[in-house]
Every structure is written in structure tokens, then in C-alpha cells.
Amino acid sequence: MIKRELTTRLKSLFFWAVGFSFIIIGGMTEFDAFSSGNSEQLNEFIRSMPRIMRVIYGIENVDISSFEGYFSLLMLYVLIMLAIHGAFLGTSLIHREIKGRTADFLFVKPMSRDRILLRKLLGGLGIILILETAISVCYLYVFSQTGNLELFPETLLATFATHFFFFALGFLLAILFPKTKHGQQTSLVFILVSYFSISLSQLYNQPWLLNISPIGWYSSHLFKSSPLEISFTLIFLLLLSSLVLGLAIYRFRSKDIPS
């Protein structure tokens, strides 16, 4: 069952890995290009944009001519993509079985429902780890080229923590809304709310709004907080993800399989 989850998603996994490689490595290549000569012109162009546009794109009060500013902005987009992938992966684990009318067959096998569910989750976690491995290679390349290898451990932890949280959230929503696409729709709403909290924090200069966003906290505090503080927050996010996943498993045990 774990092998089936991996093999049926290899094609999409490949395209996601290529997309992340393009954003991380390609994005930092662009930074090297304009930081050598046109960075000030780019900053002037950004400052000439309407403030609401700068807020929407997450570039308000961000000096993208510096590595710190540019990479924090890049991380914001990477985390948004990870949130979307994790949420859709989590919702699809159960919803796909119900939509394909294979849930009744799958969950009445001579095997406990918990064991089947565990294998489904391990398959999803395996997909996350494969994608995280590809992302970590990109980070390692970027940090080695820019001389910022000390950022590698916490950046990798941030991507995995965000990825895993939205995976757990998507799985919980799939359990709560098994027969409809409301799980995916609700997870997208949650991602949008997380992103809008970042925009509102910049629009009204309210930094505390970033603390309610699993997406925005790390990208905005990467160069402003100590590694210990960042690690503590990300470990808390992992614990919260485990709690959400445990709630989903408990809810699944006590719920009939929809036909």
C-alpha cells in the first residue's frame, strides 16, 4: 500500500520537484544577476509601485538587493507552495479512495483499519520526505554558493515543519468532509488566511499578525531571531501537526466509511 501511494504519484512528484528547483536555484541565480549592478534600480522600481501591490506581493519594507531580504521573500513563496502541496496530498489520501469507490473494499480487508490508515499516512510521509530531499539539495547548493551554510539546518526544518503541518491539516479536513471537495477548499481558505495575515501585518504594521501564520513567521524572522527561538517555534509547529494528525486518526476511528 505504501509502494502504491508512492508509485501512483511519481509523475506529479517529479513536476513538483522540478518546480521547487526552478524557484530556489533559478530565483537565487536571478539575485546574483541583478545584485551585481541593477539592484538599486530594482529597489527604486519597487518603491514606485502602489503600496497595496507591495503588500500583496510581500515586498513591503523588504530590501531585495540584500541576500537577507531576497531570500526571505523567496522563502515566503516556497512555503506557500509547500503548504498547497501538503494540504492537497493530505486531503487526497482518503478522498481519492472514496471518490474511486475503493474505500469499502480497502477498509474491510482482514487487517485493522488503523494499520491500513497508518500505511496510507506513511505513504504520504514518504512523498513528503522525497520532495524535501530534492528541496534540501537545492538549499545546500544555494547556501554553499552564497556562503550561508549556517542557515541550512533551520531552513530545512522550516520547510519540513510547514509541509507536515498542512499535510496533517489536509488529512483532518478529508476526514471531516469525506464525500466532497470541501476538505481541499477549506485547506485553501486556511492557506489564504495565513497569507493575508502576512499582508495585513505589513499593511497596518502589526508584526504580531505574523505569529498566527504558519507560512509567514519563519520567512519574516529568519534574520531577526536567534536560531534557538526559530528552532523552538518550528518544533512547536511539528508538535501541533502531530496533535492535528492524532485528532484526524481519532475522528476516523469513530466515523463510518461513506459509500
Separation of CA 117 from chain center: 23
Q: pLDDT tens-digit profile of 19-38?
A: 999 999 888 887 776 666 56
Q: pLDDT tens-digit profile of 56-78?
A: 777 777 777 778 878 888 888 89
pLDDT value at position 133?
Answer: 94
Q: What does residue 8 show for φ and ψ, rounded to 5 degrees?
A: -75, -10
CA–CA dist 180, 197 (Å, integer)? 27
Note the pTM of the prediction, 2 decimals.
0.85
For 49, which DSSP code? S
Residue ranges per domain, the chain? Answer: 2-253
Question: Given a cut of 80, is residue 123 above it in pLDDT?
Answer: yes
For 22, which DSSP code? I
